[in-house]
A and B are shown apart, each in its own frame.
Chain A
Amino acid sequence: MDNRDAVPRSGERLPPLSVGHKILFGLWLFAILIIVALPMIGGYYGAVLIYTADVVYPGVRPWVTPIMAGIFVAWLVASHIVELLLRRSFPPRLVVLREIVSTLIGLLILAVLYGLVFTEAMASFVAAVIASALFLACAPLIQFLEKRAPERS
């Protein structure tokens, strides 16, 4: 499908959307977030399988999917802020150490965010580890899809 006319130029002001389009765009974005947050959902169910459903806060279960999508976005934003802070605190020659610290803090942030869903800290941590492992397991697929994604311009 040729959508060159739909690609905005840098700094270009986009035309305003109607209310219907805004709602549709929101739903579309939500659906995409759910698809991308599948490893997070996998982490949740992995922890539930290990620790049973008793470790989940009451009332959370019906809302797990949107909560995971929200946690995914919060995790990306929080990790990015931490990354920026680490860049300022670590000297450039310690890139590897900084990345290890950044990855560990990312895992910790994820565990804390899972803590909104689980009553036990260990279950949150296990869910974070499973979600991270699932993301890593999906790495070749993500790279492949990214390479074959439709052109930007």
Chain B
Amino acid sequence: MGGFTSVEWNAIARNAEKAGDRVSAQAARQAAKTAQGGSTAGGGAVQPANIITTLGKKALVAALRYAGPKLPKPMRPYAHKLANVIEEVSEFQEGALITAFQQVRVPYDVAATAAKWCVVFLGF
């Protein structure tokens, strides 16, 4: 899949969604899931992580992303890399829920929306 990480595929998906290209966005999200699957310990399906530590990781990633651009230019790539590494570790959850919903034959767009809301309210 072009050597992109799940984080990069998700960024591509977001950009495609912003541009109104739902088909490309969906394809990029699928690629992100595949990339995540390749990076999980089991080497197979993507897995969720526990609620509270997930929130901690998300908070850390958000803080790194907000504060990264405030750093002097030579240091910014390090901030981005750090945020990407932590995010890749914590981004399993949404993909796992989408996969689970799709296994019970929920359409992808419905599964993605439901997973997003589950992540918002439950932190899964």
Contact = CB atoms under 8 A, between A and B. Distances in A.
A36 interface: yes
A43 B61 CA distance: 21
Interface in A24-45: 24-25, 28-29, 31-33, 35-36
B65 A6 contact: no
Contact of A136 (B47, B66, B96, B123): B123
Q: Is the interface of B mostly helix, strand, loop or mixed?
A: helix
Interface residues of A, number: 54
A140 B123 CA distance: 10
Contacts, number: 149
Given A140-B120, A151-B14, 12 more contacts: A1-B69, A3-B69, A6-B73, A7-B77, A15-B74, A24-B75, A25-B78, A87-B47, A142-B58, A146-B62, A150-B68, A152-B11
Interface of A: 1, 3, 6-8, 10-12, 14-15, 17-18, 21, 24-25, 28-29, 31-33, 35-36, 72, 75-76, 79-80, 83-84, 87-88, 92, 95, 99, 102-103, 105-107, 132, 135-136, 138-140, 142-143, 145-146, 149-153
